[in-house]
Structure 1
Amino acid sequence: MKPEDSASIKEKKVISIGTVRELTGLSERQIRYYEERKLIFPARSGSGIRKYSFSDVERLMDIANQMEEGVQTHEIRREWKKKEKASEDWKKQMLKGQIQAHFKNNKQ
């Protein structure tokens, strides 16, 4: 298996809410609440059944740990948005550097 395959497997939305409940120890009500608060984004099957990924399970565990520490859902969402923006900015800088290096090397 290639490294990129494991990343795509981790993101596949194939896990039912019942299995997520068993894996995380959270109730279905808690899981749905985190979805309502825009902290988790399950896929929906044609019949409307929620499907989660392994990444979603990890995220739910992180949410539960932070909630136990007294962090509010809006604070969790704000921090994740900051991290996502920083990651996007970093990717843009890397791409910009690669493009500049490519054109610099081709001119020589």
Structure 2
Amino acid sequence: MKDEPSYKNRKVITIGVVSELTGLTERQIRYYEERKLIFPERLARGNRKYSFSDVEKLIEIANKREEGVRTYEIRQEMIKETKKENDKKARNKMLRGQINARFGIQKD
């Protein structure tokens, strides 16, 4: 059960529903995928499935675009955020390892 994604990250929503929820056209949604801003799951027949997290991200993207932010800038910001998140995870893992080593805690 732990390996299952949370309901927010499960890819179950069709592009038509995402379009209705976000107010974006299907073409706009596909464009944001082309620009590597979102990553829907692709089924065997080519259909796309989105998650609630994808819907939230699309709304954020649309708001930034309305403010005049270019898709390139949005992508660069996403890359920085992902790097920062990965660095934080690595730092936390290292600290846990150091604490475990210091107090003689063995991992099974």
* TM-score, length basis structure 2: 0.91
Residues 1:89 and 1:68: Cα distance change in structure 2 (over 3 Å): same
Match of 2:65 in 1: 67
Aligned residue runs from structure 1 range 80-91, under 5 A: 80-91=78-89
Q: Taking structure 1 as reference, are residues 5 and 99 closer, same or farther at Cα in structure 2, changes over 3 Å only?
A: closer
Who is 1:44 aligned against? Answer: 42
Question: Residue 98 of structure 1 corresponds to which residue in structure 2?
Answer: 96
What is the CA-CA distance between 1:106 and the residue it aligns to?
1.1
2: CA distance, partners of 1:5 / 1:41: 20
CA RMSD of aligned residues (A): 1.9
Shift of 1:8: 1.7
Aligned length in residues: 105
Where structure 1 has 5 or more consecutive residues not aligned to the other structure, the ranges are none
Extract structure 1 runs of 4+ deviating beyond 3 A.
4-7
| Larger proportion of helix | 1
Q: Aligned partner of 1:70: which letter?
A: G
What does the per-residue CA deviation read over 1:5-34, in whole Å, with 9 as the maximum and x for residues that have no partner?
996211111100000000000001110110
User: Once the two structures are superposed, what CA deviation does each residue of 1:62-89 show, in whole Å capped at 9, x if it has no partner?
Assistant: 0000000000000000001001101110
